[in-house]
Structure 1
Amino acid sequence: MQMSDNWNFYALLVDDEPASIFVDLGVTKETHIADFPIMAYSRVRMNNPRPDGLSSQDEYDSLISLEKDVAEAAERAGKHLYVGRNTSSGNRDFYFYTQNHSIEDFLTKAMKKWPLYEYQTGHRPDEQWSTYWRFLYPSPEDFQRIGNRDVVDRLLEQGDRIEEPRTIDHFAVFGSQEDRNIFAEHLVAKGYAIVRKTDAASGEFQITFDMTDRPDQIDEVTIDLFRAARDIGGEYDGWGCTIVN
């Protein structure tokens, strides 16, 4: 089985510790999950983690090569799917879904190439892919942060000075004029300027608004807007700005 091309990563807290998850977002669109009812994992203890428990630059190349070996071991077996990893508390945990627990034999064989690393493997039934959906898969707020990072990366690629304040445009959409008006009142109280309101033929009631902010501090701004729009029954729909070189 092949992994999808839709992988992404995001930061979060796991057991109140900094963590980073790298996950295959497209695997369930290309796979009949009922065919892989067992979740298996391989936990590798990092040799040189950062003080906060995340991976260090010094160990980056080794960990990437190790990950490639365990993922290829699962792929060669043909009955196992590598779906993601979590890095936290000095460990890197690799997660798989499989048809049978023989995957542990393949993982053990792959780890023989890495004798300096301590590791353990395990498995359990997980027909609903709860580990994938409840742990690895991003929450809606995590998706917002992922989207923010993508926009900031595009700005950086064009030489933007993301620490420089500038007008940032925001967008949201609601199912009724009443909800949109309630949100507009929230925006004005927060100091935003309402740019325009648009009524779509599809029944969507859109609002565009702006404020001066810094792209390198956009997460806090957009998460507040995301939650406010959600609580009123709408959806925050992203942001954009001009480039400052």
Structure 2
Amino acid sequence: MSDQWDFYRLLVDDMPASIFVDLGIASGAPLVQFPNLAFLSVRMQQPRPDGLSSQDEYEALIALEDGVSESIGHSGRSIYVGRNTCGGHRDFYFYTDDSTIEAVLRNAMAKWPDYEFETGTRADADWSVYWNFLYPSAEDFQRISNRNLIDKLREHGDQIEAPRKIDHFAIFKTQSGSDGFVSYLRSNGYNISHTTGASGEQFDVAFDRVDQPSRMDEVTIELHGAALGHNGEYDGWGCSIVK
């Protein structure tokens, strides 16, 4: 496992879900020495009404997770890559070359006799479950970035519901893409604070609008899609602190 883990919210089968995933391992994935997927699906005892985990069960679930991941890590033949919490279950995912991993998982769960669980394995040399299910999409990465920035604002006493000027940035591969995005921005109430011409193969646009930091998921997902539609990339936002 790497030390670069993060989580994000989404819908899985139209139900609220939360995925916690090892992002750092992506640079080397798939790891050929771990060609099989194993899972452990645990039924939570005190889920919230929406099927996610509750604060009442937080400590028990973290202890269970730590115990299970430690158990499968002893042999060096398995690696823990992420979990999904949804519908009253917490599902843990591992990649392995250990044919006995289900027995290892069952032995680990013997320390938690009050929890119902299931295990399973299948071949997944391409790590399709990691890439197609656990790994965040571009929009999910934007939401992760938004949450991390809002958390930092809160740490400084910011009132995230308070409107203020929000600065944004975007990068484009062509002048026509940059120009088209600027037209989109102006039609949606943004002020264009700076644009650059060709710098190698990059065209930059800096822009701003008065908004609430609490709305940044809605705002930035729209900007992400608009930038992508003009052959570009939305590159984030920033703002002053309002206490």
Cα distance per residue 1:78-131 (max 9 Å; x no partner): 100000000000000000000133111111111001000000100000000000
Q: 3-state DSSP class of the match of 2:8?
A: strand
In the alignment, which residue of structure 2 is the partner of 1:89?
A: 87
**SS of 2:196's equivalent?**
strand
Contact in 1 for aligned 2:33/2:97 (Cα 8 Å) = yes
Partner of residue 72 from structure 1, selected from 70, 86, 111 = 70
Tell me: CA distance 1:31–1:136, structure 2 relative to 1, closer, same or farther (3 Å): closer
- Give the secondary structure class of the aligned counterpart of 1:138: coil
2:233 paired with 1:244: no
Letter in 2 for 1:150: N
Cα pair 2:36 2:125 within 8 Å, conserved = yes
Q: Secondary structure at the match of 1:199?
A: coil
Runs of at least 5 residues in structure 2 that lack an aligned partner in the other structure: none
1:98-109 aligned at under 5 Å gives the runs: 98-109=96-107
**1:162 paired residue among 160, 163, 174:** 160
SS at match of 1:96: strand
Q: 1:30 to 1:174 in 2, by over 3 A?
A: closer
CA distance in 2, matches of 1:62, 1:46: 10
Matched, 1:24 2:22: yes
The alignment's TM-score, normalised by the length of structure 1, stands at 0.97
2: CA distance, partners of 1:203 / 1:128? 33
Match of 1:111 among 96, 102, 109: 109
* CA–CA separation in structure 1 for the residues paired with 2:162 and 2:30: 47
Match of 1:199 in 2: 197
User: Is the Cα contact below 8 Å between 2:38 and 2:119 reproduced in 1?
Assistant: yes
1:227 maps to: 225
Q: Which residue does the alignment assign to 1:129?
A: 127
Instruction: Give the fraction of aligned pairs with identical amino acids, expressed as a percent.
Output: 56
- Residues 147-167 of structure 1, C-alpha deviation per residue, up to 9 Å, x if partnerless? 111111111111111110000
C-alpha separation in 2, matches of 1:58 and 1:43? 20
Are 1:58 and 2:50 matched, yes or no?
A: no
Could you say what secondary structure the match of 1:107 adopts? helix
Report how far residue 50 of structure 1 moved.
0.4
Equivalents in 1 of 2:20, 2:99: separation in Å? 23
- AA at the equivalent of 1:126: D
Gaps of 5+ in 1: none
In 1, the alpha carbon distance for the partners of 2:220 and 2:5 equals: 23
Paired residue total: 243
- Aligned counterpart, 1:180: 178
SS of the residue 1:216 aligns to: helix
**TM-score normalised to structure 2 length:** 0.98
